[in-house]
Amino acid sequence: MKHIKIFDTTLRDGEQAPGCSMNLKEKLEVAKALERLNVDIIEAGFAISSKGDFESVKSVAETVKNSSVASLARAIPKDIDAAYEAVKNAVSPRIHIFLATSPIHMEYKLKMSPSQVLENIEAMTKYAKKYVPDVEFSAEDAMRSDPEFLAKAVRAAIKAGATTINIPDTVGYSTPREMAERITYLRKAVPETEGIVLSVHCHNDLGMAVANSLAAVEAGALQVECTINGLGERAGNAAMEEIVMAINTRKNIYGGETRIKTNEIYRASRLVYNIIGMRAPINKAIVGDNAFAHESGIHQHGVLANRATYEIMTPESVGIPSNNMVFGKHSGRHAIQNRLKELGYNLTPEEMDVLFASFKDLADKKKKINDADLEALVGHKVKSSTANEFTLDRFTVNSGNYVTSNAIVRLSNGGKVFEEVAIGDGPVDAAFKAVDKIIKTPPHSLDDYSIQSVGEGKDALGEAFVRIKCGDEIVTGRGLSTDIIEASIIAYINGLNKLL
């Protein structure tokens, strides 16, 4: 079977989507999850775009050992220089350059003639090749490009040393039939493609990113660019978990396989959703809550008789545990650690210390703690705060339909405590205003706030998410508690600490 490479761009294309930004620590967590998944290439960012992006690409390149690490670069020398400096310490570095080839992009964005574009592709591919042997060229907006001109661009890049040629559907305009025809055309029109890897990068504007990617694989593409949970610009990218499981489930159709460890999919998906403060839609393929749920009597009867009647893959195959252990306040550290390993979490002793302390606190508040609670605690494990971070010490709120809501909040920072009182339109608004009086940040606004339950029952954990906008920057904050007001305050403080 042919090897279909998975090029994951969650840390670049996914992270640049509005509201999906991550800090360095979070990017490293995602990079490690991608490495556990065994992805072939991790696109760690766009090194030239900012100092922070450069540092994150560099850190990922120096951390990851079992995947190639790539940085995106425009077809400009300074971009390629920055990309190389960021990835040069990777075990297997890649420079990924791009230049648009569609008439609309060449005329209105690049303001370059077709001949100038071809010259630039060849020159900049050669420039990147002097740094690393692994160079990828992407013809931006390839699916709206003239096929004959696109073939010339592909030939120029290969001639200059590109080892991977990417054909992006940048605006999600294509259909599966068109994508298959374009890959087939390029393989015939440019015989040199037989010696390199043809790749696709599909956006989901018309909801066909996964279908287009799979059509390309069927036509001979050997690399798919995708993201965890389909994150990305506008409507997002092709979802990695859907592509991988489609190829894995229908090997007879695609004639290939990936090297992805599919039982790590659910864990990686949950991690990314937690970091960006979102939750999978219940009907999301592969990782949604209902992906393996059966309510219809006919379906339930069939599954009980033989799971294959209504399940074409098992929940265990993507890392969803088949059983659900329940723990309580008498459960020991070893049992908790063992269950976490079964769920796919290998915590360091220091992380386990923090998590077990949180577990004991939670066990005093609710009688039964299940897998969903444990996974939530893992997602919210907090290391000891640094000198400039605030933590919640205590709070009191007073609210009712005949009184003005007010809150007294006390925070600690560097051994000192700060207390403020505020009134608001409700208990959460009042608490947030009290926090704002203590934590002095640049002017900001609450862009989004949501809270949801983890598990079932009236003693379920409440998981709060906030999205805070400060100028052009957007940060997310997360909080977890059986008290939804406390969870909300913790989430807000978490977000403001990031702004600091």
Model pLDDT for residues 203-222, shown as the tens digit of each residue: 999 999 999 999 999 999 99
What are the C-alpha distances in Å from 344 to residues 18, 335, 376?
30, 14, 14
391-499 classified as CATH 3.30.160.270: yes
Secondary element (H or E) of residue 214: helix 209-219
**Dihedral of the CA atoms 267, 270, 276, 280 (nearest 10)?**
150
User: What DSSP line would sit under 456-490, residue for residue?
Assistant: SSTT-EEEEEEEEEETTEEEEEEEEESSHHHHHHH
User: Which range, of 57-61, 65-69, 260-264, 308-312, averages the lowest pLDDT?
Assistant: 308-312
Structure tokens belonging to residue 455: 């598990």
Average pLDDT over residues 61-86: 98
Instruction: List the beta bridge partners of residue 237.
Output: 203
Q: How do 403-413 and 416-424 pair as beta strands?
A: antiparallel
Q: Across the strands, what pairs with 197?
A: 164
- State the angle between helix axes of 371-379 and 333-342 in degrees (0 to 180), rounded to the nearest 10: 90
Residue 322 burial (CB < 10 Å; 0-12/13-18/19+)?
A: exposed
pLDDT of residue 296: 63
- The whole-number pLDDT of residue 451 equals 92
Q: Is the pLDDT at 295 greater than 70, yes or no?
A: no
**Do the beta carbons of residue 473 and residue 496 sit within 8 Å?**
no
* DSSP helix/strand/coil, 22: coil
C-alpha angle 465-469-473 in degrees, rounded to nearest 5: 115
DSSP letter, residue 171: T
With a cut of 70, say whether residue 300 has pLDDT above it. no
- Residue 326 reports pLDDT greater than 80: no
**Span 318-326, mean pLDDT?**
73
Cα 71 to Cα 62: distance, rounded to the nearest angstrom = 13
Instruction: Tell me the average pLDDT across 236-265.
Output: 97
The average pLDDT across 449-469 equals 87
Residues 272, 30 contacting (CB under 8 angstroms): yes
**Strand, helix or coil for residue 326:** coil
Residue 398 sits at φ, ψ, to 5 deg, of -130, 120
Q: How far apart are CA 474 and CA 469, in angstroms?
A: 5
Q: Are strands 473-481 and 256-257 parallel, antiparallel or unpaired?
A: unpaired
Q: What is the pLDDT of residue 384?
A: 41
Going by pLDDT thresholds of 50, 70 and 90, the confidence category of residue 381 is: low
Query: Which percentage of the chain shows pLDDT scores above 90?
Result: 71
Q: Give the mean pLDDT of 290-305.
A: 73
| Mean per-residue pLDDT, 180-184 | 98
Q: How far is CA 477 from the centre of its chain?
A: 16
C-alpha to C-alpha distance for 325 and 327, rounded to whole angstroms: 7
Residue 30 and residue 271 in contact, taking contact as beta carbons nearer than 8 Å: yes
Domain boundaries, the chain: 2-276, 291-315, 321-379, 391-499
Same fold, 2-276 and 391-499: no
Which CATH number does the domain 2-276 belong to among 3.40.109.10, 3.40.50.360, 3.20.20.70, 3.40.718.10? 3.20.20.70
Alpha helical stretches, state H, 64-208: 77-87, 103-105, 114-129, 147-159, 176-189
Query: So what's the pLDDT on residue 458?
Result: 77
Stretch (H or E) spanning 37: helix 24-37
> pLDDT at position 340, please?
86
Q: Give per-residue pLDDT as tens, 82-121.
A: 999 999 999 999 999 999 999 999 999 999 999 999 999 9
Kindly report the length of the chain. Answer: 500
Residue 347 has pLDDT above 90, yes or no: no
Q: pLDDT confidence of 323, banded at 50, 70, 90?
A: low
Report, as an integer, the average pLDDT of 417-444: 95
Q: Find out whether 488 and 464 touch, Cβ atoms under 8 Å.
A: yes
State pTM to two decimals: 0.84
Residue with more model confidence, 7 or 350: 7
**What digits encode the pLDDT tens for the residues 112-148?**
999 999 999 999 999 999 999 999 999 999 999 999 9
Q: State both tokens at 232.
A: 């990305």
Beta-strand pair 391-400/445-454: unpaired
Q: Stretch 282-305: mean pLDDT, rounded?
A: 79
Helix (H) or strand (E) holding 242: helix 240-249
